[in-house]
Chains A and B, each alone.
Chain A
Amino acid sequence: MLKTNEFLVALTIVGLSLVIGLISPAYFTIANLFDLLRSATVTGMLALGVLIVIISGQIDVSFTAITAFSMYVTVKILNAIGFNGTVLVAFLISAPIGLALGLINAAIISRFKLPTLIVTLGTQSLFRGFLLFFIGSNLIRDIPGGMEAFWKANLVTLTTPEGALTHLHSSILLLVAAALVTWFLLKYTMLGRGIYALGGAPEAAERAGFSINGIQMFIYGYVGFLAGIAGVAYGSLNRQADPTRLVGSELDVIAAVVLGGAIITGGRGSVIGTLLGVFLITIVNNSLILMGIPSIWQKVVIGLIIIVGTGLPAYQNRRAVGRLSANLAE
């Protein structure tokens, strides 16, 4: 248990928090915690989708384009019909759009047996280009009433000792729900076993009777579905629909998932680890200034965290393999 990656990441988070908290008392406040959770919501939901792709031994870099696409199209549709009712309708439009785009990925990948990095690289460019050229590239500040209301929908409102109000946004519930569903799916369903099996050894998974195509359909559909939901959350939290944002941040999300212990070659990864990875990246992104480190050093710190965070397990793994073969040779 002490050697698991989840534990190491949790330890890093605690250590980092203690250091930041010692330097800046502002860190250990409810207001800061709420801020961190708010910033982690969208990244977290996207990361859960990426987690199951990575567990299956594949990769998806198109999900940010799907998020931007479903967010922007949903806002356009709702504005066009002048619908200002509940935000649920926005989710009901956005999620199927995301699902459909994810299924396009799945169809190309499973029909033609192509490398997933290349296909999703192509569809990222395809989705983004289609969105920005055929649908629109202008920032929409006037978001539909439902999303506007969701922007103000706080789950908890507390008064800080200084007398200011601090809010926990209700979109965190989406992340919690997505995490629970993904956890249940991976832990207790045959589909989840299939995803791990596919990542561990595709050949063996197929022999064991798993339908590889079916699993792939599910994986990319699920990533698209989560990306669609994250799109509405993203638009609501920012109170605007900017179709040019988000694409380009997919590598950050993948980094968070990998820091959380998922192995890029497949077969291993957990929901808890992924959430911890997301929180670690969010804390570093948000709290360096609190530590007195100028924001210009932020990228250096994140780069080092990725290198150390992936290098340490890789190095240990290499030594373990070395020992194993040495033992075998004796």
Chain B
Amino acid sequence: MRINNAGTTGQSRPAGTPPKLSIFSLAARDGNLTRLFVIMVAIFLVMSLARPDIFPTLSNFNSMSVQIPEIGILAIAIMLTMLTGGIDLSVTSTANLCGIVTAIILTALVPPTAAGPQVVFGIAVAVAVAITIGLACGLFNGYLISRVGITPILATLGTLTLYMGIAIAITKGTAMFAVPQFLWLGSGTIVGFVPVPLIIFAALALVFALILNRTAFGFRLYMMGTNATAARFSGINNAHMLVQTYMLSGLLASIAGLIFLARSNSAKADYGSTYILQAILIAVLGGVNPSGGFGKIAGLVMALLSLQFLSSGLSMLLIRYSGSNFLKEFAWGALLIAVMVIDYYSNRRRDRALVEKT
């Protein structure tokens, strides 16, 4: 098993010391985060040097910042469940189901001619229903895992199929469309150039970083993921924690579904089926341990940015070749394995140094 020290440092800080939010101080505390930071900067520099004309430009940043939020939010969802030692494979199905229901409600409540309060009311109802569905999907996952006792990977494999099935049954397999008034959420900007989805993602990343590092819930989550038995004997209700975690995952999935609907103006039962594996990849690359207990939002964000720089850069370098998407897939796989191998060697070196000291 991989030895991973990410995540243990943040909690040992004495109470009262203000947290340092700078990326450098984070990186300095944690070897895995340092490596990720170096990788991220290296990819950025290489791509900028290779295509100085188009890579480090505002328009490229804009197009990248459109691609980041959805997958990033799904990756946070999967990360939370991985911290418990589980996994949530049903996030994309949940997101699509929420997107579809939102599209149906919006079409019914907000006609193209609607204005003012009617639009606000319609959107509020649709969003509320979508989030409720997301929470319900997560609740069902959590119930299957904590009460019935199904292994998370199998329970969510079942619900992945089930939720997708419900979405297919509702839509008969066709795409559903949003209304124009809703699209601001997906393609609008704030202060002229910052895309709204990016702000939502940044806010969610910040909120969940705070939840994980600063609240009792986050502390219990890390504890349960590190040693479920010890957590139970220290008075943590593991079943409750699991249900809450999977509900949070469902909530995040529903938000990703809303953004996806608003950006692409359509929702369909089988959109984004490759997102699950990509989201797992981002979380693992970011230092989240799939067997639970370790992982930081900062690592996840850096992994997300690294992969985005890599895939944007590659598609620019290879604009003449067809199928640069496939090269992206190849590069992501290679990067994942390379990072795991580097982790292996550096952890081994650290362990040896520790042994020699003692």
Residues of A that sit less than 8 Å from B by CB: 59, 61, 108, 112-115, 117-119, 121-134, 137, 248, 251, 254-255, 258, 264-265, 296-304, 306-307, 310-311, 314-315, 317-318
B154 contacts A132, C-beta separation under 8 Å: no
B323 contacts A113, C-beta separation under 8 Å: no
User: Which chain B residues in 168-189 approach chain A with CB under 8 Å?
Assistant: 168-169, 172-173
Chain B residues with CB under 8 Å of A248's CB are 273-274
Output the residue of A117, A132, A303 with the most chain B CB within 10 A.
A303
Given contacts A113-B1, A296-B168, A300-B166, contact A310 B158 (CB under 8 A): yes
What separation, in Å, do the CA atoms of A307 and B168 have in the docked complex?
18
Given contacts A125-B330, A137-B323, contact A303 B281 (CB under 8 A): no
B158 contacts A306, C-beta separation under 8 Å: yes
Q: In this complex, what residue of A is CB-closest to B280?
A: A121
B155 contacts A307, C-beta separation under 8 Å: yes
Smallest distance from the beta carbon of A242 to chain B beta carbons, Å? 14
Q: In this complex, what residue of B is CB-closest to A128?
A: B329
Main secondary structure of the interface of A (DSSP, over half): helix
Smallest distance from the beta carbon of B321 to chain A beta carbons, Å? 8
B277 contacts A296, C-beta separation under 8 Å: no
The stretch from B67-75, B230-238, B335-343 touching chain A is B335-343
What separation, in Å, do the CA atoms of A117 and B214 have in the docked complex?
31
15 contacts between A and B (CB under 8 A): A114-B340, A115-B290, A119-B337, A119-B340, A123-B333, A124-B333, A128-B333, A137-B322, A251-B157, A255-B154, A299-B165, A306-B162, A310-B151, A311-B150, A318-B148
What separation, in Å, do the CA atoms of A315 and B324 have in the docked complex?
47
What separation, in Å, do the CA atoms of A112 and B329 have in the docked complex?
22
Given contacts A133-B327, A299-B168, contact A118 B157 (CB under 8 A): no
What separation, in Å, do the CA atoms of A61 and B333 have in the docked complex?
13
Chain B residues with CB under 8 Å of A125's CB are 277, 281, 329-330, 332-333, 336
Given contacts A254-B157, A303-B163, contact A126 B333 (CB under 8 A): yes
Chain A residues with CB under 8 Å of B164's CB are 299, 303
Chain B residues with CB under 8 Å of A129's CB are 326-333
Q: In this complex, what residue of B is CB-closest to A248?
A: B273
B159 contacts A307, C-beta separation under 8 Å: yes
What separation, in Å, do the CA atoms of A46 and B93 have in the docked complex?
25
A299 contacts B2, C-beta separation under 8 Å: no
Chain B residues with CB under 8 Å of A254's CB are 157
Closest 10 pairs between A and B when the two form their complex, measured CB to CB: A129-B330, A303-B162, A299-B165, A125-B333, A126-B333, A300-B165, A129-B329, A303-B161, A132-B326, A306-B158
Q: In this complex, what residue of B is CB-closest to A321?
A: B149
Chain A residues with CB under 8 Å of B168's CB are 296, 299-300
What separation, in Å, do the CA atoms of A314 and B153 have in the docked complex?
13
What separation, in Å, do the CA atoms of A52 and B262 have in the docked complex?
44
Chain B residues with CB under 8 Å of A119's CB are 337, 340
Chain B residues with CB under 8 Å of A258's CB are 154
What separation, in Å, do the CA atoms of A301 and B324 have in the docked complex?
37
Smallest distance from the beta carbon of A72 to chain B beta carbons, Å? 13
A130 contacts B330, C-beta separation under 8 Å: yes
What separation, in Å, do the CA atoms of A297 and B340 have in the docked complex?
41
Q: Which of A118, A311, A314 contacts B290 (CB 8 A)?
A: A118
User: Which chain B residues in 268-319 approach chain A with CB under 8 Å?
Assistant: 273-274, 277, 280-281, 284, 290-291
Chain B interface extent, by class: 35 or more
Chain A residues with CB under 8 Å of B158's CB are 255, 303-304, 306-307, 310
Chain B residues with CB under 8 Å of A306's CB are 154, 157-158, 161-162
Is B160's CB within 8 Å of the partner chain A? Answer: yes
A317 contacts B340, C-beta separation under 8 Å: no
In the complex, given contacts A113-B1, A302-B161, what are 14 additional A-B residue pairs having Cβ atoms less than 8 angstroms apart?
A115-B291, A122-B337, A124-B333, A126-B334, A133-B323, A134-B330, A248-B274, A264-B153, A296-B169, A297-B165, A299-B168, A304-B162, A310-B151, A310-B154
Is B208's CB within 8 Å of the partner chain A? Answer: no
Chain A residues with CB under 8 Å of B172's CB are 296
A314 contacts B159, C-beta separation under 8 Å: no
Chain A residues with CB under 8 Å of B333's CB are 121-129
Given contacts A124-B277, A311-B144, contact A133 B330 (CB under 8 A): yes
Chain A residues with CB under 8 Å of B61's CB are none
B149 contacts A314, C-beta separation under 8 Å: yes
Chain A residues with CB under 8 Å of B341's CB are 108, 112, 114
Output the residue of A113, A265, A310 with the most chain B CB within 10 A.
A310
What separation, in Å, do the CA atoms of A317 and B149 have in the docked complex?
9
Q: Which of B150, B163, B337 contacts A310 (CB 8 A)?
A: B150
Q: In this complex, what residue of B is CB-closest to A118?
A: B284
Is B89's CB within 8 Å of the partner chain A? Answer: yes
Smallest distance from the beta carbon of B145 to chain A beta carbons, Å? 9
What separation, in Å, do the CA atoms of A126 and B161 have in the docked complex?
26
A300 contacts B281, C-beta separation under 8 Å: no
Smallest distance from the beta carbon of B22 to chain A beta carbons, Å? 30
Q: In this complex, what residue of A is CB-closest to B329?
A: A129
Chain A residues with CB under 8 Å of B148's CB are 311, 314-315, 318
What separation, in Å, do the CA atoms of A94 and B324 have in the docked complex?
26
Given contacts A314-B149, A314-B151, contact A114 B166 (CB under 8 A): no
Q: Which of A108, A114, A137, A299 contacts B162 (CB 8 A)?
A: A299
Q: In this complex, what residue of A is CB-closest to B166?
A: A300
Chain A residues with CB under 8 Å of B323's CB are 132-133, 137
Chain B residues with CB under 8 Å of A132's CB are 323, 326, 329
What separation, in Å, do the CA atoms of A127 and B321 have in the docked complex?
19
What separation, in Å, do the CA atoms of A311 and B157 have in the docked complex?
12
What separation, in Å, do the CA atoms of A122 and B322 have in the docked complex?
23
Smallest distance from the beta carbon of B94 to chain A beta carbons, Å? 13
Chain B residues with CB under 8 Å of A123's CB are 333, 337
Output the residue of B154, B277, B321, B344 with the most chain A CB within 10 A.
B154
Q: In this complex, what residue of B is CB-closest to A115?
A: B290
Chain A residues with CB under 8 Å of B157's CB are 251, 254-255, 306
What separation, in Å, do the CA atoms of A114 and B277 have in the docked complex?
17
